[in-house]
Amino acid sequence: MEDILKEVCKRIQSKEDEIVADVIRLCRQPSISVQGIGIEETADMLIDSLKGIGARVERIDFGNGYPIIYGEIMGNSDKTLLFYNHYDVQPPDPIDEWVSPPFEPCVSDGKIYGRGTSDNKGDLIARIHAIKAFLEVNGSLPVNVKFLIEGEEEIGSPHLAQLVKEKGDLLKADGCIWEGGGRGADERIEISLGCKGISYAELEVTTAQNDLHSSNGTIVANPIWRLIWALSTLKNEEEEILIEGFYDDVKELGPRELATFDELTVDDLRLQESLGVKGFLIGLSGKELMKRHLLSPTCTICGFISGYTGEGAKTVLPNKARAKVDFRLVPNQDPEDISKTVEKHLQKNGFSDVKVTWAHGQHPYRAPLDSQIVKAARWASHQVYNANPSILLMTPGTGPMYELSGKLGLPTVALGVGHAGSAMHGPNENIRINDLILGTEMIAVLMAKFQRI
């Protein structure tokens, strides 16, 4: 690492108290989007913080949506890095399980506890302080930086598509650092290159005007049976999805992408323990398990209800059955196409009596492994953490990455200051101060590398 970067890192280390204080200050301000709590106050704080490091700041409002904060600082380069963050947090429930109050952050055992510390106010403060330190040491930034900080991530980012459509030019960049992430269970830093998409369907069958006595099961169609037979055509016991064309658009991985799994640490027993299970599907373990977890599209029944479900025996022939099914998608599956494929499959297999209703879908996204932002992130994490990062081609979950990164063609990686025990969305959410400082250094080093790559 060159001298200037070493100095920036030292500067960051010397500012530990200030950085911690800023995380505490931001987390003390509730900003619960689903309950509409503290939105304006938080937006004002962020505008001040960005102005404080010399950014040009713009507040963008769409209808009754929560304000989106945009900021930009020009650097010594024609390269631009976009930081995606959100200032909203999950509700603190169950409050009883917090050891300290969720919105009165406190430091204990080298950790900062409080709602939002990990998801993702800590990430945001790290980014702001990396820039601040760079400017203090160097006078200017190695790249142009842009901030996009929305307040609706925890409620599904309902205005992100509109932002990209109407303000796409403002968001133009050469790479993007998404929020979230940090150290994995093996203590190595994780760099995620994407997330899955989703199609979510409700399937419903109605057979009669009312529930009937079950003795009519001889001659009257049973909606549970209909739905079971329909669903059993979707996936077999070997976990193969049987819908014609379902896998058609799944992009094959190259050898270099597959090689990322060789560098992952997979601790099956630890994973079993954290999930509360005694084994995994179809006998998988190790890297094969992780490949499936990160890369496979799914067909998961999330709910099923029909008929009598109370205690004891009631002999009823129900007239209606409903099931909810989510399909997690991987590049280049398209949620619209998948929904058509599923409906066609049901028709073709004689289940035109199954009524399908689709919830809003999301596209999958995965950054190219050879993109500059991935290379810069990998190099920077070596420098800062003195270890290979874990490159995760995807996360198993779904996020709005495609709406921004996919639509703008903006190579994106997610990385942050969390750790395996950060309890995102749960009680006693926390980050470790050491991770916060190293995560701040990581952003500084990454900016410098990104300029020259």
Residues binding a copy of itself (CB under 8 A): 196, 198, 200, 202, 207-210, 212-222, 224-225, 228-229, 231-232, 235-237, 275-277, 280-281, 284, 289, 292-293, 296, 298-309, 312-319, 321-324, 326, 328, 350, 359, 395-398
For a copy of itself, give the closer residue by CB, 146 or 196.
196
Cα dihedral angle (39, 40, 41, 47), rounded to 10 degrees? 110
How far is the C-alpha of 114 from the C-alpha of 93, rounded, in Å? 12
Using the 8-state DSSP alphabet, how is residue 403 labeled? I
For a copy of itself, give the closer residue by CB, 64 or 315.
315
How far is the C-alpha of 341 from the C-alpha of 245, rounded, in Å? 7
Strand duo 390-392 + 56-60: pairing: unpaired
Task: Give how far the C-alpha of residue 244 lies from the chain's centroid of Cα atoms, to the nearest Å.
Answer: 29
Contact between residue 57 and residue 124 where contact means Cβ atoms under 8 Å apart = no
For a copy of itself, give the closer residue by CB, 140 or 232.
232
For a copy of itself, give the closer residue by CB, 101 or 427.
427
Identify the H or E element spanning 196. strand 194-206
Q: Which of 123, 354, 320 has its CA nearest to residue 232? A: 354
Using the 8-state DSSP alphabet, how is residue 216 labeled? G
Cα atoms in the Cβ-side hemisphere of radius 13 Å centred on 267: 11
Output the smallest distance, CB 218 to a copy of itself, in A: 5
How far is the C-alpha of 422 from the C-alpha of 418, rounded, in Å? 6
For a copy of itself, give the closer residue by CB, 33 or 440.
33
Output the smallest distance, CB 344 to a copy of itself, in A: 19
Output the smallest distance, CB 224 to a copy of itself, in A: 4
For a copy of itself, give the closer residue by CB, 37 or 212.
212
For a copy of itself, give the closer residue by CB, 201 or 404.
201
Output the smallest distance, CB 157 to a copy of itself, in A: 15
Contact between residue 389 and residue 188 where contact means Cβ atoms under 8 Å apart = yes
For a copy of itself, give the closer residue by CB, 82 or 290.
290
For a copy of itself, give the closer residue by CB, 62 or 280.
280
- For residue 343, give the 3-state DSSP assignment: helix
Cis peptide before 222 (omega within 30 of 0): no
Output the smallest distance, CB 354 to a copy of itself, in A: 13
Output the smallest distance, CB 321 to a copy of itself, in A: 7
For 35-39, the CB contacts below 8 A with 24+ separation are 35/91, 39/66, 39/67, 39/88, 39/151
Output the smallest distance, CB 408 to a copy of itself, in A: 25
How far is the C-alpha of 438 from the C-alpha of 90, rounded, in Å? 25
Contact between residue 90 and residue 98 where contact means Cβ atoms under 8 Å apart = no
Output the smallest distance, CB 323 to a copy of itself, in A: 8
**Measured distance between the N- and C-terminal CA atoms of the chain, rounded to whole angstroms:** 14
Output the smallest distance, CB 29 to a copy of itself, in A: 28
Place of tokens 């979230």: 180
